[in-house]
Chain A
């Protein structure tokens, strides 16, 4: 027997079996599918709404926490960041979050300055093709900021980008996608160390 004959025979037997099946009611099928789609759409809209609300909440908290020690923010006046010598930064993390969502979470924030820095060095960054500053925190500061993940940082009042690096370190760059040239990075690292 060829594979073709075998295939046709298998198909014939299957179609015989299918011929004995009852076809479901078309109206029932269409109605249930329509209901399913609506449920899916509703769930999607709710999920998107929840994500947007969560994002807005995080944004609002970040703004509030980031500005409280440094600036007074009101709707009628522009944000003013008071100039502080050297490095200053604010960080926060969530605490007491339930399994899913951010309802019930508490935002815990902390301030840091140049005095929390044990060492600062400059290294090349391949991604941004420039230089970034790697700040090593003092052991006490490293412990304080161990679980923090979001930072707002300033050098002499100018906002810079700060992200957690390897254990006990923070990496500073000009912004999220740009770094500095080597000379500027070195000068800023020296400034941080000089203002401890």
Chain B
């Protein structure tokens, strides 16, 4: 079925700039959360598609990048929560496409990100946003729409758990 293919698409230049500027960092965030580049790409492209549909509103936002990070986290949560047929199909597809799509070795196989993926969902999201997007506590809280105190607790608990797993000192400066 080739519905929609070939139809003219009007995208503003500012959206194209936003897309190319944010795509890589969002893919990093999504791959860190999903543990798989193919799923990560799906999550990011879906988030970007949502952004394209709401661009007239989004283009007025000061921090569009944060909105996009939040959209990636929400899409990832939906994918994970839903456990839908689609996500299972994507998993199967990801398995097949691994040979053609080079993995993001640093995010998919690094022991640190492996340990991050074994954390509870909120802790994982806080850690990924903190290190990959370099967001501070207040920015993470705004992105995930939770209280700053909650973010602090998640980061503290996550660091403690990560220190145990990867065998580092849990002391931190954030």
A positions within 8 Å CB-CB of B:
1-8, 10-11, 13-19, 21, 23-24, 26-27, 29-35, 38-39, 42
Contacts and interface: CB of A to CB of B under 8 A. Distances in A.
Contacts of A42: 1, 3
Given A15-B25, A26-B15, A39-B1, A34 B169 contact: no
A34 B11 CA distance: 13
Interface stretch (B103-111, B117-125, B146-154): B103-111
Contacts of A32: 5
A147 B134 CA distance: 64
Interface stretch (B60-68, B91-99, B137-145, B159-167): B159-167
Contacts of A1: 168-169
Interface in B1-51: 1-5, 7, 9, 11, 15-16, 19-20, 23-25, 27-28, 32, 45-46, 48-49
B76 interface: no
B4 A2 contact: no
Interface of B: 1-5, 7, 9, 11, 15-16, 19-20, 23-25, 27-28, 32, 45-46, 48-49, 52, 104-107, 110, 112-113, 127, 130-132, 134, 159, 162-163, 166, 168-174
B7 A31 contact: yes
A52 to B, nearest CB: 21
Contact of B170 (A2, A8, A19, A30): A2
B171 A14 contact: no
Contacts, number: 114
B4 A35 contact: yes
Interface of B is mostly: helix
A1 B162 CA distance: 13
Contacts of A19: 24
Given A17-B104, A30-B9, A7 B49 contact: no
B5 A35 contact: yes
B3 A35 contact: yes
Nearest to A31: B9
Given A10-B112, A10-B131, A30-B9, A23 B20 contact: yes
A33 B27 contact: no
A33 B174 CA distance: 39
A6 B170 CA distance: 10
B45 A29 contact: yes
B11 A3 contact: no
A21 B32 CA distance: 16
A30 B159 contact: no
10 contacts: A2-B172, A6-B168, A7-B130, A10-B112, A15-B25, A17-B104, A26-B48, A27-B9, A29-B19, A35-B4
Contact of A4 (B104, B106, B159): B159
Contacts of B130: 7
A48 B4 CA distance: 22
Contacts of A31: 4-5, 7, 9
B71 to A, nearest CB: 13
A3 B170 contact: yes
Closest 10 CB pairs of A and B: A4-B172, A35-B4, A33-B49, A10-B112, A11-B131, A14-B106, A38-B3, A26-B19, A18-B24, A3-B163
B23 A23 contact: yes
